[in-house]
Amino acid sequence: MNALDATRKWLREECPLIDKQDRFNANYLGAETTEYTLRSAGDTCTTDVLGLDTVTCNFVFVAQLPFGKALVPNLSAADFFANLSAWVRGQDRAHQYPNVSGYQATKIEASNAGVITQAEANSARYQLQIKLTLEEV
């Protein structure tokens, strides 16, 4: 399984914050009020003296959530992303990573939790950046 698919599956199956009833795509976000996607934001690769690769995969997790002049949905979105970022950090501390074929994950990081990238009257798109470090096995 490639890194994008493995990370999306890991978030979908392991993260208690993501409602399994909501749509969770890869590289696509539709028009549902609540919907998620994971997009690749580029990879970097280095090779050690033994010829083994270390790959850093950069992803953007995007959630489309209710938004508007009412305070409650906006605060709920902020809480969701703060908790999601904390969950990713906890998974890193516990060494619970996505399972990527041919690689051993060694670190996962989250940053820029809950940045609004697009807003309309009733919904907004928020993002979290995720960095996954993999070593070739």
- What tens digit of pLDDT does each residue of 43-90 get? 999 999 999 999 999 999 999 999 999 999 999 999 999 999 999 999
For the chain, helix (H) and strand (E) counts, in that order, are 2, 5
Q: Which domain holds residue 125?
A: 3-136
Angle, vertex CA 93, rays to CA 43 and CA 10, nearest 5: 55
Spatial contact of 64 and 52, defined as CB atoms under 8 Å apart? no
For 5, phi and psi rounded to 5 degrees? Answer: -65, -40
Spatial contact of 52 and 136, defined as CB atoms under 8 Å apart? yes
Residue 41: CB atoms within 10 Å:
13
What is the per-residue pLDDT across 16-44, written as a single tens digit (0 to 9) for each? 999 999 999 999 999 999 999 999 999 99
Q: What is the reported pLDDT for 94?
A: 99
- What is the domain-level CATH number for residue 65? 3.30.2000.30
Q: How many domains does the chain have?
A: 1
The type of residue at 132 is L
Q: What is the reported pLDDT for 78?
A: 97
H-assigned helices in the chain: 3-14, 71-93
Exposed e or buried b for every residue in 81-105, given b needs 16+ CB within 10 A? beebbebbeebbeeeebbebeebeb
